[in-house]
Structure formats: structure tokens, C-alpha cells
Amino acid sequence: PTRRSAALADMVELMHAISVALFRRRRAMAGNTSGTVLDEDSPWLHTLADNNEDSEKARGTVNAYCFNIVLVSLQDSAILENATKTSQVLDMFAWWLGDALPRALARNNMHDFPADSEEEIEPAALRDETELLEGGQDAVPPQQHCCWLWLLFLSPFPLELVRSQATVTLKYWKVICAILGTLQSGNESNVPSSSSQQLLYLSLIANKLVKSLLSSISGHDRTLPETEERNVVYLFAMVVPVLSALCKGLHQIAEATKSEECQQQHSFFGSSAKSVVGNCLTQVHELFSAAFAHTHEKVVQTAASSAQSLLQSPACAVVLSSAIVPCLMLSLVTDRAQNSPAVIDAAWGVISSVAVGRQGNDDGSALLEATIPMVLKLVFCIADHTRRRPGSLQAHTAPMAQCLVQAARSNPQSLKAQVAAMPSGSQQM
């Protein structure tokens, strides 16, 4: 095992160096200033980087070698204990995933996976990739498969690896989510192609993380060991970028298909994609319901911070507000929150984010119009309760006032109109 780990470390170093040179050259050829073409570049690098059939086949071979090196490395404790080697492994993962994914999606454009449940959809969606892995060398058509997706579901990255290499894992997880959330180039109508399958993969990955997080917080209703508390924080940190990527993709498709003519000409979602995306949104609601109602303050604070990060994005606010905000509103008026000023501040901060994040954004105008009366009604209820029971809910006063100030700045006309429509007694509160 020791000699194998040493040889594997050398292979990681070699394939990483080759990948660095190859993608630097490819970026330079594409006109990206982050790559530089050097006169002394070796002939083999020219061959690998060129845009022709022979070069694509050669890159496919390197891709296959890198995949196997990454696959084995993610199972090797000696590699994973070394932050530098782990970074090199995940570098290759991100680069080759970004290179292979567009071709795989183009080949599988609008491919659906009929199934009765998500448990059946996931293996069906990865069937081509797993058949490739099991078929041996004769079954490797690297330009037509994206076996890198398989690693996101069946390797230690990111769920297990984050426990031992948190900083490195979270850094590269954001990179991977950015790759998965960038819908590939569209047709003449600027409509993203392969959107259904790409969002299917994103939703499956998001569901996997959300389920794991929900399981972690549901299994510790009253006490949370330090290691599990840290894991909950890591899981929330991974859920945010994947949900952001999913919402970005959904928003991109919504923008591209605004016209009725475009909607009639193009069908973007297969039944499996619709099912998994819908299930994802349901699970997000379940997650934040459980998190905001949790007895452990760190869980509630982390959930509120994550919600705030998500809802500051216009795309996430439109897609996720209905799943997150009702849970949050309920948490603001529970007895548990009464004795937790930090949680109250965080919760009101999330509501403020919904309003402030929509300022100057036409897409969020309807959401903002609905948010302001909701905030006013909540403020009225808390103020009325405080009037009837002096001293109760006192911790809400400062963050509640700050939220009202920010709402007034975002849409002063709407706020004035809503206040004017309230009974005179409520206005004085």
C-alpha cells in the first residue's frame, strides 16, 4: 500500500502537470488571456490542444487516464490526507468535467429517463456512465460520455471529503457547481440546449445534499455533538452553491422562453426533470422547516445565514422564497426564538434580503410587492403582542425597525400605500 500510494502521488503530479499545460494552451487558442502560447511548447502539446478529430481522440485518452487517476485518488487515504495532492486531484476533476460535460449533454440532448421515483431516475441518468466504467478499455468513447458525473454521486467528493479537507472541498465544490450551473450554448433563439438533462443532474445532486443535511439535523433534535455541528455547517455551505446554480439555470430558461412563440417551438423539460426539480423544491422547504424549528441555536443561525445568501440572488429569491420564507416567518413568533436574539437578528436579516435584493430588479418587482405587505402584517402582529404583553418579543424591535427602513428604501411608494390602507390604530403602532 505504501509503494502504491507513492506511485499514485507521482501519477497525480504527472497528470496534473499535463492537464495544466493542455488547458493553458486550449485557453490561449480560444483567445482567453489567461492562457499563453509559448514557442517552446512541445509537439505533443500542440497535438493535444488542436481542434481536429485526431486531437480530440488524443485528449480523450488523456481524459480517460485522468479519470482513473482521480477515481483511485479519491479512495486513497494518503492522497486525501495531503491538502496539496487533494487540490491537484480536484483541479483535474474540475477541468475535465468542464471539458467533457458540453459534449455529453449535446449527445444526450433532451434525453428523458422514464421512472416512477427519484431512486430509479438517478441510476437511469447515470446508466451510460456506469456502463462505460464497467465496459473496460474497449468501451471508452470519451467524446460521447461524461463519466465525471459519476464521481459526484458515488465518490467521497464532496460529502465525505468535506469532513477531512473542508477548505479544499468547499473551494472546489463552488467551482463544480459553477460548471454544472452554466447552461450550454443555445440555438439561434438563444435558448439553452440540453437544459433538461443538465438541470436534472443539478437537481439530483442538490437532493442528495439536502437529504444528507436533513438527516443530520433530524437525528439530533436536542443535542448536537461538535463534530456533527461542524458537519451541518459544511453541508449548508455545499447546499447554497448547488441551489444557486439550479436557480440560475431555471431563471436562464425562463428568460429565454418568455415569448409564447418560443414556448411553442421548444420543449425543455422531460417528465423526469420536472419530477426531480419539483421534488428538490419540496425538500428545500422540508429542510428549512426543520432547521428553523431546531432546538440547537447554531443550526438555526446557519440556516438563516444560508437563506440570506440564497435570497440575495434575484434568481434564487424568485424560485426559493415560497419554500424558505414561510418557515422563517413561523420561527420568528415561536417561544424558542424569544430567548435567542442572534436567531431573531438573522431571521429579520433574511426578510430584509428579500426586499433589498429586489431593488432595481424588474424580475423581482412582483415578489417585492408581495413581501412588503407580508412584512407589515408581521410587524403589526408583533407590535400588538408587545402592547398587550409589555416586554415580550422585545428582541424583535431593533431588527424589525431595520427591516422596515430597508423596505422603505427599496419601494417607498408601495410601503406608503400599504401603511395608508391599514386601520388608523395599526398605523400608530
pLDDT digits (tens, 9 = 90+) for 292-320: 888 888 898 899 999 999 988 888 988 99
pLDDT in tens, 27-42: 888 775 554 555 556 7
Select the highest-mean-pLDDT range: 152-161, 234-243, 345-354.
234-243
Whether residue 143 contacts residue 103, with contact meaning beta carbons closer than 8 Å, is answered with yes
Higher pLDDT, 422 or 218: 218
| Residue 184 pLDDT | 66
Confidence label for 428 from pLDDT (cuts 50, 70 and 90): low
The CA-based angle 207-199-231, given to 5 degrees, is 30
| Residue 295 pLDDT | 83
Give CA torsion, residues 270, 271, 274, 278, to 10 deg. -170
Q: Which residues fall within 8 angstroms of residue 314, CB to CB, at 6 or more apart?
A: 251, 357, 358, 361, 363, 364
Cα 320 to its chain centre, rounded Å, is 12
pLDDT in tens, 189-224: 444 556 777 888 899 999 999 999 999 998 656 677
Distance (Å, rounded) from C-alpha 125 to C-alpha 128?
A: 7
Average pLDDT (12-33) is 87
Selection from 275, 247, 267, 250 nearest residue 121 by Cα: 275
Selection from 319, 337, 327, 316 nearest residue 399 by Cα: 337
Residue 422, C-alpha cell as written in the block: 391599514
Backbone dihedral angles phi then psi of residue 186, each to the nearest 5 degrees:
-100, -165
Average pLDDT (356-362) is 56
Confidence label for 259 from pLDDT (cuts 50, 70 and 90): low
Q: What is the mean pLDDT of the chain?
A: 79
- This prediction has a pTM of 0.83
Selection from 174, 169, 310 nearest residue 231 by Cα: 169
DSSP class of residue 331 equals: H
Distance (Å, rounded) from C-alpha 249 to C-alpha 195?
A: 8
Residue 416, C-alpha cell as written in the block: 406608503
Confidence label for 187 from pLDDT (cuts 50, 70 and 90): very low
Selection from 159, 241, 246 nearest residue 198 by Cα: 246
Distance (Å, rounded) from C-alpha 170 to C-alpha 175?
A: 9
